[in-house]
Amino acid sequence: MKISKVKVCVLRIEGTNCEEESYLAFKRLGAKPEKVHLKQLTGADVTADEKRSLSDYHMLVLPGGFSSGDYVRAGAIFAARMKSRLSKDLVDFVRAGKPVLGICNGFQILVETGLLPAMSGVMSDVPEAVLGTNDSGRFECRPTLLRKVNRGRCVFTTKIPEDKISLIPSAHAEGKLMFPIERRDRILKELYENDQVVFKYVDPEGRLAGYPWCPNGAVDNIAGICNRDGTVFGLMPHPERVFFRFTHPDWTRSPDGSGDGRAVFESVLDYASKKL
């Protein structure tokens, strides 16, 4: 399929607030993104013109923000609303090999929905992980460096060389990836064996480092994970914010080249154009 035919559903509800830049990232690369309200998929309060079906799209993006204020728990309300009405559509979507991307709040939503880490199957009934409050106890808006540790499974990072360090900034209060204590080691082992760990927070020398390079205290410095097929990907940092070089936090020191986040969108569009 040509990239210009790839239809991307950028899904939003009240409080989703990174939809515009997520939409633009795909548009700039020639794909066909559309900002879609969850109610357009569920059919509530919409006209026939406005109604959409998830199966019309080739890719689903859950952008960052504070969906429903992140009250209850980050991403919990969006996830519950989605899961109660669209469970089957979501499972079919993932089974068809169509990619799903969750950035920041989107990652939190994917975890709350059970689409990540999805240790057994496509979608777990209850969340198997949580993105907890940062160790600092504060919202942290700061540049973060991510080393790609994925060995090739994740379709969102195929254009990033292994071990490359990318500057992809973070902005969240709840980004500490954690697993249930009693199952933690087993889940981690499986994640590594399945090549589901994608990005880790590192310092400028590429070492796994503590705060502030790891802004939240995530287990093993993990910033992003994918499902077993590598088609569902969630990460806390914001690749859409560094699509261009000139939005890198230190770009005036080295102004040439493209933004580090661009490769994430290029990778998945490459996958879509070849496999869908």
Partner 1 sequence: MSADKLYSRRATPFELVDIDLASATDPEIMEISRESGTGLSLEEMHRIRDHFSAKGRSPTDVELQSIGQAWSEHCCYKSSKVFLKEYVFGINTNAVIDRGDAGVMEFDRDHAYALRIESHNHPSAVEPYGGAATGIGGIIRDVLCMGAQPIALVDPLYFGPLDFPFKKLPKGIKHPKYLFGGIVAGIRDYGNRVGLPTVSGGVWFDESYVGNCLVNVGCIGIADKKDIRRNAVKGPGDVLVLVGGRTGRDGIHGVTFASAVLTKESEKESRGAVQLGDPIMKEPVIHAVLEANEKGLVNGMKDLGGGGLSCVVGEIALAGGCGAEVDLTKVPLKEEGLAPWEIWVSESQERMMLSVSPRNVDDVLHVFKLWDVPATPVGKVIPQKVVRLFFQGEKVFDLELEFLTAGPLYCRPCSVARSARNRREKHPKAKARYDKELLRLLADPNICNRDWIIRQYDHEVRASTVIKPLQGKLGHWSHGDAAVLKPVEESFRGLAVATASNPFAVGIDPYRGGKTCVDEVCRNLAAVGARPHSLTDCLNFGNPEKPDRLWQFREAVKGIGEVAKALNVPIPSGNVSFYNEAPSGAVLPTPTILGCGIVRDVRRCVTSDLKGEGNTLALIGATGPDMGASAYYRMTKCHSSKVPDVNIAALKAGMEVVVGGIERGAVVSCHDVSDGGIAVTLAEMCIGGDTGAEVDLSKIGKLRADARLFSESNSRWVVELRKGKEKAMPKDRRARMVRLGTVGGDSLRVSSGKLLVDTDTDRLAKSFNETLWRLL
Residues serving a catalytic function are 104, 238, 240
Q: Applying CB under 8 A, which of residues 6, 9, 18, 155 lies at the interface with partner 1?
A: 18
Give 74 or 177: the residue with its C-beta nearer to partner 1: 74
CB of 26 to partner 1, least distance (A): 13
From 81, 98, 87, select the one nearest 124 (Cα to Cα).
87
Q: Check residue 50 for interaction with partner 1 (CB under 8 A).
A: yes
Q: Check residue 69 for interaction with partner 1 (CB under 8 A).
A: yes
CB of 237 to partner 1, least distance (A): 11
CB of 263 to partner 1, least distance (A): 16
CB of 85 to partner 1, least distance (A): 15
Q: Applying CB under 8 A, which of residues 36, 54, 70, 116 lies at the interface with partner 1?
A: 70
The pair phi, psi for residue 247, each rounded to 5°, is -110, 5
Give 77 or 197: the residue with its C-beta nearer to partner 1: 77
Give 15 or 132: the residue with its C-beta nearer to partner 1: 15
CB of 188 to partner 1, least distance (A): 28
Q: Check residue 205 for interaction with partner 1 (CB under 8 A).
A: no
Q: Check residue 169 for interaction with partner 1 (CB under 8 A).
A: yes
* Separation between Cα atoms, residue 233 and residue 94, nearest integer Å: 11
CB of 66 to partner 1, least distance (A): 4
Structure tokens at 201: 């927070």
| Among the residue ranges 53-61, 106-114, 122-130, 165-173, the one whose residues contact partner 1 (CB under 8 A) | 165-173
Give 94 or 146: the residue with its C-beta nearer to partner 1: 146
First CA to last CA distance, the chain: 6
3-state secondary structure the chain: CCHHHCEEEEEECCCECCHHHHHHHHHHCCCEEEEEEHHHHHCCCCCCCCCCCHHHCCEEEECCECHHHHCCCCCHHHHHHHHHHHHHHHHHHHHCCCCEEEECHHHHHHHHHCCCCCCCCCCCCCCCCEEEECCCCCCEEECCEEEECCCCCCCCCCCCCCCCEEECCEEECEEEEECCHHHHHHHHHHHHHCCCEEEEEECCCCCCCCCCCCCCCCHHHEEEEECCCCCEEEECCCHHHHCCHHHCCCHHHCCCCCCCCHHHHHHHHHHHHHHC
Binding mask 131-150 for partner 1 (x = CB under 8 A): -------xxxxxx-x-----
Give 142 or 275: the residue with its C-beta nearer to partner 1: 142
Contact set with partner 1 (CB under 8 A): 14-15, 17-18, 20-21, 24, 37, 39, 45-47, 50, 64-66, 68-71, 138-143, 145, 167, 169, 171, 204, 238, 240-241, 243, 246-247, 249-253, 255
